[in-house]
Structures are given as C-alpha cells and as structure tokens.
Structure 1
Amino acid sequence: MNSNRTYQLADSVVFQKTKEEFGGLSNMAAGYSLNINDVIIPTAEHLYQACRFPHSPELQLAIISEPSPMTAKKLGRQKIEMTRKDWDKIQFKVMKWVLEVKLSQNWESFGKLLRETGDKHIVELAPKNKIWGAAKDGSVLTGTNALGRLLMQLRETYVKPDHYQACVNPLEIEDFLLLGNPIGIVCNEEYESEIEWSLNRSILPTS
C-alpha cells in the first residue's frame, strides 16, 4: 500500500478533525468503542496502538486506559523501541482488522457515515503523515492515503451491499495478543444477544 495517490478535492470526502462532518471516519473519533476479549477500548486509535506491543501487556493496558486517543498515540511513540519487529510488514493488515471491528461493532453509526460518503474518494488530510493520509496543494490531494483507501474498501465490501459482518476473525499473525491473551474472534454483543434470544425462542414449547 506504499504508493502515492492523487485525488481531486472536489471528488473527495476529506476529514481531519473529529468534530467535522465526517470526523467519525478518524481513528481518533470518540463514540465508536470496541470490545476485544471483553476489554472495552475507547477508540480505533487506542486499539491500533496497543497492537504494536503484544509482548508488553503493561504498556498495552496503559495505552487503552488513556482517556485521550492522542495521548494514547503519544504513549506508543514514546515506547517506539518496544514495537513488534514485524510491524512495518503487518501494520496495514492490523489497521484493516481494526477498522473491520469498528464497523462490525458500530454498524448503524459508522456504517451510516461511510454510506454518506457516496462514491467519493475518502481522504484523511494529514500533511505530516502522507502514508496514512494526504497533503493538500490547491485543489489536489497527494499521499499514500492508506487509511482512506482502507475505509473505501470497507465501504465497497460491506456497506454498499449492506453485508453486515457480525463477527471478525483474528489476524493470522504470530503473537496477536491483548493483555497477554490471544485475540479471538470478535463478535458484536448485540448480535450475540439476538442469536441467543432466537435460539431460546425456537426451543420454547408452542403450546
């Protein structure tokens, strides 16, 4: 995914700050909490940063306990030397998984936001990080825009066809851990409750 893209501003949905119209597309956006192994994680950014450090459960706990996603990110940067050795090879896979979990567990709100982007390009405005986003130069946006491209994949794969992914499988990578435990299949709690209710209802006597 390390290749530059160029987008016309007029044909793009651009986000940067979380309070903007499409700010919920940002990993920093509040209101899209995630449940991994029965651990509630405030934002996608918290989870992504925690995934850097599978061999340091104490650091993972410190990251996901931070109230602010920006502070969680800074904490990860402060301990950058503890990052798993294969991070550069797997970081885009991890981000894709994080976003799939975000969509699965926030289908109504996050799915609605992605649907509202229509057929436009999704671009994160990030002049200082043109790997995950893109920089603006007049009416043109240039950068790798990895986050925007992954969001567009989600939109095309799940949102447009209304294909709800209730459960997300763990990544098939070594040491995919959270707080010392392997990350298992992640299912939406509401979905699990509906299945349990349906099963219980089906075995009730009809008379």
Structure 2
Amino acid sequence: MSYESRQYDIKHCAAFKRTREKWGELSNMAGGFPVAVNGVPIKSIEALYQACRFPHLPDVQEKILFQGSPMTAKMVSKPYRESSRADWDEVKILIMKWSLRVKLAQNWSRFSSVLIESNNMPIVELSNKDDFWGAKPVEEGIYVGVNALGRLLMQLREQIKSNNRSSFINVPPLEISDFSLYGHAIKCVTESDISILKPPQNDMFDV
C-alpha cells in the first residue's frame, strides 16, 4: 500500500467515526465481533491488533486482551508503545490486514453484509488526529489522509465480491518473525475456532 494522502468528500463515502452510527460496524472499535486465536477468546479486532505489538511481552498481551472494550484495550497498550516489536512500522499494515481477515472469517454474515452494503463507495475512517489509519477534516465535509484502514476494508470488499465464502474461512498466519500469542506461534485461524465462544447447547433430554 502506498502511503500518499487522499482527499475524500464524505457525503459520498461510507464514512465512520462513532460505532453506533451508520457504517460504525466497519470500525475496529465496534462491539459484537468477537474472535478466537489459538484457542484464546478475544473481544475485538482492536484488542487483537494491539496485542500483536507485543509478541515478546505475553504479560502485556494478557493485560490488553483482558479488557472489556476495544477502547480500553487500546488505552492499556499505550504505556508500552515504546516496547512494541522492533519491526512494528514495517509489519503493522500486514497485521491489520490479517486481523480484518480474522474478523471476517469468524463473523462472516454480519461483517460481509456491511462491507457489501457499502457498494462501491470509498470507505473512510474519520478522525480528528489520525491521518494515517483514517483521514482528518480540512474543510466542511472534506477529509484528507492516508486512510489505511479504509483502504484495507475496500480491498477486502473487492475480494468478497470476486470470491465465494470458502475462500475466507481459513486465515493462515503471517510469515513474519515472532508472530505469537502468549508465547506460542499463531496458527491458522479458522471459521470454526469461534465455536469456543459459544455456550454448549443443553441436551434436549437433560432434566
């Protein structure tokens, strides 16, 4: 992905800032998209992404993944940012792209639906201060930024249009050094892994 800034007229975009507004489910902060990686239940993609900063610090990963909301997971990671993996700037786009694939694989119906509903509109994360992952306002209705998250979502949307569901149910691990969770190498994530988060059904003859 090139890092050039782009300009967006948000009247013609699937633009999101608050998770409860239209297109908010595209945000990494949106609730209701739990995932499971290596058998570990994770409440949000934001928590997963932040945990991937610290493969060498399992205790920090645990603090992040223990949080009840995506925003608190992000805030808990902040004091440790200077201890992020040494190649973080080189791999963060790859990790975000992988994280979105995990979100899709394990929340197919809901996440694919909102992506397809955005049709061919530019997808833009609106921000007042982050013009890398999102875009910032420069005048009324006009935002400028790299919009890296929005562009990754648009790429994923095009892939969904061109492939059937079976292409997305398995997410291989990234081929980068020390891609791990709690000291164990991250394995292929599958659609069925999410079943660990669902309570077992009571047998109909139980009393």
When the two structures are superposed, what TM-score results if normalisation uses the length of structure 2? 0.89
The two structures, once aligned, show a CA RMSD in angstroms of: 1.4
2:198 equivalent in structure 1: none
1:65 equivalent in structure 2: 66
2:159 equivalent in structure 1: 157
- Name the CA distance, whole Å, in 2 between partners of 1:73 and 1:190: 24
Shift of 1:172: 0.2
2:183 equivalent in structure 1: 180
SS at match of 2:124: strand
- Name the CA distance, whole Å, in 2 between partners of 1:181 and 1:77: 23
Shift of 1:11: 2.0
SS at match of 1:72: helix
The answer on whether the counterparts of 2:36 and 2:194 sit within 8 Å (CA) in structure 1 is no
Shift of 1:8: 1.9
- Name the CA distance, whole Å, in 1 between partners of 2:12 and 2:187: 39
Work out the percentage of aligned pairs sharing the same amino acid: 45
- Name the CA distance, whole Å, in 2 between partners of 1:162 and 1:20: 29
Q: Deviations over 1:72-121 (max 9, x none)?
A: 11111111121000000010000000001101111100000111101100
The amino acid that maps onto 1:156 is: E
Unaligned runs of 5+ in 1: 193-207
- Name the CA distance, whole Å, in 1 between partners of 2:9 and 2:88: 31
Shift of 1:66: 0.5
Shift of 1:190: 7.4
- Name the CA distance, whole Å, in 1 between partners of 2:194 and 2:58: 29
Q: How many pairs align?
A: 191
1:85 equivalent in structure 2: 86
Shift of 1:143: 0.4
Shift of 1:139: 2.9
1:114 equivalent in structure 2: 115
Q: Deviations over 1:164-204 (max 9, x none)?
A: 21100000000000011000100011799xxxxxxxxxxxx
Shift of 1:10: 2.5
Where do 1:87-106 residues align within 5 Å?
87-106=88-107
The answer on whether the counterparts of 1:166 and 1:191 sit within 8 Å (CA) in structure 2 is no
CA 1:6–1:39: 2 relative to 1, 3 Å: same
- Name the CA distance, whole Å, in 2 between partners of 1:32 and 1:139: 29
Shift of 1:163: 2.3
The amino acid that maps onto 1:179 is: Y
2:22 equivalent in structure 1: 21
The amino acid that maps onto 2:145 is: G
Which of 167, 184, 193 aligns to 2:170? It is: 167
- Name the CA distance, whole Å, in 1 between partners of 2:141 and 2:30: 26
- Name the CA distance, whole Å, in 1 between partners of 2:117 and 2:143: 20
